[in-house]
């Protein structure tokens, strides 16, 4: 399901708004269900699928990372690697490593690598995350781990 979120610079002239997904269809046990994107901690590319990770659950989507990046709100999700897109609200901390590498630590304990090729593109989003009035890293709400909606 896609809903308007606000005008994009390109769509203002055309009088339309950029739309981002609020739910994604996922496969689980041979059935298609819908998961709200705000419940997803991170998306991972693996072969011909993208997996949506939400807590201990993982759901398969038959989409490319490029398509996922296009349908997710860039104010809420950030691509940190060619195989990972992260929900900004799920980031617990950033851990610098030797040689300029950075580990992204999520509230669920997952650790992901912020690749050098995506660091430049992600830097403005990370800067915005660090400058949030409520603080850069806040724990997810207790009810974000609801089961997939029908």
> Which position has the higher pLDDT, 118 or 51?
51
Q: Across the beta sheet with 111-114, what order do the strands follow?
A: 91-96, 102-106, 111-114
pLDDT of residue 128: 64
* Domains with residue ranges and CATH for the chain: 2-137 (2.40.50.1020)
* Percent of the chain topping pLDDT 90: 39
Any idea what the Cα angle at residue 72 is, between residues 66 and 73, rounded to 5°?
A: 130
Predicted confidence band of residue 110 (pLDDT cuts 50, 70, 90)? very high
Candidate from 36-45, 69-78, 114-123 with smallest mean pLDDT? 114-123
- CA–CA separation, 141 vs 139, rounded Å? 6
Give pTM, 2 decimals: 0.74
**Residue 92 contacts residue 84 (beta carbons within 8 Å):** no
Q: What angle do CA 9, 21, 141 make, to 5 degrees?
A: 110
């Amino acid at each position: 399901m896609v809903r308007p979120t606000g005008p994009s610079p390109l769509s203002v002239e055309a009088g339309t708004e950029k739309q981002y997904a609020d739910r994604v269809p996922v496969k689980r046990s041979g059935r298609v269900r819908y998961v709200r994107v705000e419940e997803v901690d991170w998306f991972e590319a693996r072969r011909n699928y993208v997996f949506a990770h939400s807590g201990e659950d993982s759901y398969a989507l038959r989409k490319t990372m490029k398509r996922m990046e296009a349908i997710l709100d860039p104010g809420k999700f950030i691509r940190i690697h060619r195989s990972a897109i992260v929900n900004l609200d799920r980031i617990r901390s950033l851990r610098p490593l030797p040689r300029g590498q950075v580990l992204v630590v999520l509230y669920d304990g997952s650790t992901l690598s912020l690749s050098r090729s995506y660091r430049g593109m992600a830097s403005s989003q990370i800067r915005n995350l660090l400058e949030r009035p409520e603080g850069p890293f806040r724990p997810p709400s207790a009810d974000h781990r609801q089961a997939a909606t029908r």
